Amino acid sequence: MKTLVKHLSPTRRILLFFLGMILLGSFLLNLPFMQLESSTASYLDHLFTTVSMVCVTGLSTRAVAETYNTLGQIVCMFLMQIGGLGVLSFLGFLYLDVRKKFSLLDRTTLQESLNREEATGFKDFMKAVFAFTFAIEGLGAIFLSFRLVPLLGWSKGLFSAVFMAISAFCNAGFDNLGANSLQNYPTDFLLNLTVASLIIMGGIGFSVWFDLKTQFLPKRSLRHLRFHTKVVLAVTVSLLAMGTLLTFISEYQNPDTIGHLAVGDKLLVSFFQTVSMRTAGFATMDYTKANPITLLIFVIQMMMGGAPGGTAGGIKITTLLVIVLFVRGQILGLPHTNIRYRTIPPTVVQKSLAITSVFVATFILGLILLTALEPKADFLHLVFETMSALATVGVSANLTGQLSQTSLFLVMGLMFAGRIGPITVITSLNRRQPSKKQNLHYAKSDLFVG
């Protein structure tokens, strides 16, 4: 078996890794002593929950707090942690294990999947990833405990704080407080900002944080940051500000969401939804009561996702930026795709187009199938659910629990594809050596487009 696995391509190893974790996790959660005595969950419910946790999505057919006991919730924490960091660590150790057998293209694609430019220091990089993760999750748990311990008591409060810290940093979107996510705490300043901070730190990418760490070194300044870090920070701040403003405006007078709140609380709720839509899955409002335009704004935000090299999903904000810059260049007739006195290589543009194309095609196919399977469901809610699953966000307009078994399997497939899709595409590009015919340069075609 070990020999067989060694001969598998990186893409197939990733698939095998995730499938193995899903099967193991669903088996463990299905054990009677992992569940509350009042639990009526079926194996399909446990399988769906496991897929959602390993794919750090947040969709569920059964609430964690109403299904699993303390032991079961500990398993859930491991699944979310593995889902958030597993693929990064797996890719890193995969590189260390078989890099000598990889071609230059193989090594390059793995480096890009891990958001690394250099081919050395992978072992130290992975150690730093784990150390940073546990440190931030621990700090987040401390802040959350200030709110949850007074509400739930010492033992349950501390446990819930750790659970939510792991879930938030890994962008998993699960909590063990009840069936309504964080809708009972929409104006809790400490709870909302702590969870939002964990989501942002997990989704911004590890290389960005390690680069920011260098600012604490002597004779360092912001101008020494990597170009990637500067772009990610600028785009992240811009999208958060824009998303908060749009949600604030679109829901300002909606009495069922934020219309009855003070202006400061409206901004807090709007900000939290914007952060959560970047693949986190926590909710402090009922999305069935949100205006249609707001749901469309959320769908766009879900598609954008977070930054590469972190725990977020979606097409990634840097991919979106490259697409926007490329389109702008084509409209203006520019020969290159430029940004701030830098030229983006054609290979990066091509990969961005490939990732976006595959993502959009998968979304459309998933939406068509889900619409056919659920003809009575509200179409906008189906769009919301499909994008939420594929972008591994995990928010829902109370639709997940109403889906048929066939639809649940479809949603699981979308979550799985959303989690491994971009990485699979990157590691699959240039996997096969092109044939001699494909390398030939033929006479120009007279094909017209546009």
Q: Is 351 in contact with 318 (CB distance < 8 Å)?
A: no
Report pLDDT for 105. 45
| Tokens (6 digits) for 363 | 């979304």
Query: What CA–CA distances, in Å, run from 346 to 270, 324, 368, 445?
Result: 37, 14, 33, 21
> Which is nearest to 14 in space by CA: 86, 111, 114, 77?
86
> Which is nearest to 161 in space by CA: 440, 285, 153, 104?
153
One-letter identity of residue 172? A
pTM (2 d.p.): 0.86
Report pLDDT for 309. 72
Q: What is the mean pLDDT of each run of 10 residues along the chain (450 residues)?
A: 55 74 93 93 95 91 93 94 72 55 49 54 71 91 95 93 94 87 90 93 81 66 76 91 95 93 95 89 91 95 85 86 92 87 89 89 95 95 95 90 94 88 52 59 69
Axis crossing angle, helix 154-169 with helix 189-203, rounded to the nearest 10: 40
Q: Is 1 exposed, middle or buried (0-12, 13-18, 19+ CB in 10 A)?
A: exposed
Q: Is 262 helix (H, G, I), strand (E, B) or coil?
A: coil
Report pLDDT for 123. 66
Report pLDDT for 420. 76
Element housing 321 (H / E): helix 317-332
- The residues, ordered by sequence, that sit 6+ positions from 366 with a Cβ below 8 Å of its Cβ are 386, 389, 390, 410, 413, 414
Report pLDDT for 88. 58
| Tokens (6 digits) for 369 | 């199938």
Report pLDDT for 217. 58
Strand partners, 343: 338
Query: What CA–CA distances, in Å, run from 177 to 35, 103, 181?
Result: 16, 49, 7
